[in-house]
Amino acid sequence: MILTVTMNPSVDIMYQLDELVLDDVNRVQTIKKTAGGKGLNVSRVAHQQGEAVTATGLVGGELGEFVKHQLTEQGIQHHFSMINGKTRNCIAIIHEGNQTEILESGPSISEEEVEAFITEFETLLPDSDVVTISGSLPTGVSSAFYTRLIAKATQHHIPVLLDTSGTALAQALSREPKPTMIKPNLSELASLLQTDEQQIADNLAEYLQQPLFKGVDIIVVSLGADGAFVKWHDSFYRVTIPKIDVVSPVGSGDATLAGLAVGLSREEQPEVILKRAMAAGMLNAQQQATGMIEASKMTQMMSEVKVHQ
């Protein structure tokens, strides 16, 4: 089973308008509400590939109930810890070819709620082959928190895929035990290494050998339409992908993480895992919905990905 962790999920609302009029009333007919948050995107895409998934994290209030209800409807198992605060809304307004977003920061979490979650997380580990941790930490949770989860999973010899950014990523890399895998994009790497993006892009193999990454077995640097550059233990891979018609690449990084988790859980070879991960990212980019793929196209898409060691 793949266990996905989403500490700050949301209910994502999409409003589609012909025109956004400021300082006036905007009436909207095309509305979509989805259980959101990076880890839930990972859950959906792993589930669509036929893998057993359990989603965990923190939810509260009516929107927390909405998140659980939607996952149940989609056939995805979940085991969330309940909090007193309320799960947030994130609003995206699509208008005149633009996307204007209004993101609530989410509830504040108490120390007792953090400890209750850790206890819940531990009960889920014996049934898990792979753990994915995605996204930012909610207010009230220490930036060292992900290391606690990694330590628990490591005690059970379960690989952990960590997809976060900013302080949470920097903290996880500065402590032991390290995550098994990280999946930064170039801008996340640039802010982590406090170096210019282009400079990193031109010298990726060199940068990925910095002491900061010691102990991280696999680093997948996703490069959008350019595929990925990967450090897998002591080997390096350049992964190239075909040109595709893109509808919405939002969530493609999460779909990629799902592909990596599915491949690791099935103990596939690195080349196959990387093809699966890229194919999942591309299939997500071909859909309007975030964190959704057309799984029947997976094999064909994987055959078009090239992996060079």
Sites of contact with ligand ATP (CB under 6 A):
185, 222-225, 227-228, 241, 244, 246, 249-254, 256, 278, 281-282, 285
Residues 131 and 185: their CA atoms lie apart, in Å, by: 20
Kindly state the smallest distance separating residue 261's Cβ from ligand ATP, in Å. Answer: 14
Nearer to ligand ATP, 130 or 186 (CB): 186
Nearer to ligand ATP, 178 or 275 (CB): 275
Nearer to ligand ATP, 43 or 154 (CB): 43
Nearer to ligand ATP, 35 or 278 (CB): 278
Nearer to ligand ATP, 114 or 219 (CB): 219
Kindly state the smallest distance separating residue 133's Cβ from ligand ATP, in Å. Answer: 14
178 secondary structure, DSSP code: P
On whether the CB atoms of residues 81 and 126 are closer than 8 A, the answer is no
Residues 258 and 248: their CA atoms lie apart, in Å, by: 17
Residues 210 and 167: their CA atoms lie apart, in Å, by: 18
Nearer to ligand ATP, 151 or 244 (CB): 244
Q: Which parts of the chain are beta strand (E)? A: 2-6, 10-17, 30-36, 53-59, 77-82, 88-95, 98-103, 130-134, 160-163, 181-182, 218-222, 228-232, 235-240, 306-308
On whether the CB atoms of residues 65 and 104 are closer than 8 A, the answer is no
Longest dimension (CA), the chain: 58
Kindly state the smallest distance separating residue 109's Cβ from ligand ATP, in Å. Answer: 24
Kindly state the smallest distance separating residue 257's Cβ from ligand ATP, in Å. Answer: 8
On whether the CB atoms of residues 209 and 200 are closer than 8 A, the answer is no
Kindly state the smallest distance separating residue 241's Cβ from ligand ATP, in Å. Answer: 5
Nearer to ligand ATP, 224 or 270 (CB): 224
Kindly state the smallest distance separating residue 225's Cβ from ligand ATP, in Å. Answer: 4
Task: Tell me which amino acid residue 93 is.
Answer: I
Q: Which residues face 11 on adjacent strands?
A: 35, 89
Give the other-Cβ count within 10 Å of 244's Cβ: 13
Residues 222 and 55: their CA atoms lie apart, in Å, by: 24
Residue 101 token pair: 């977003």
Nearer to ligand ATP, 27 or 243 (CB): 243
Kindly state the smallest distance separating residue 280's Cβ from ligand ATP, in Å. Answer: 8
For residue 71, give the nearest of 60, 80, 84 by alpha carbon: 80
Give the other-Cβ count within 10 Å of 69's Cβ: 12
Kindly state the smallest distance separating residue 139's Cβ from ligand ATP, in Å. Answer: 22
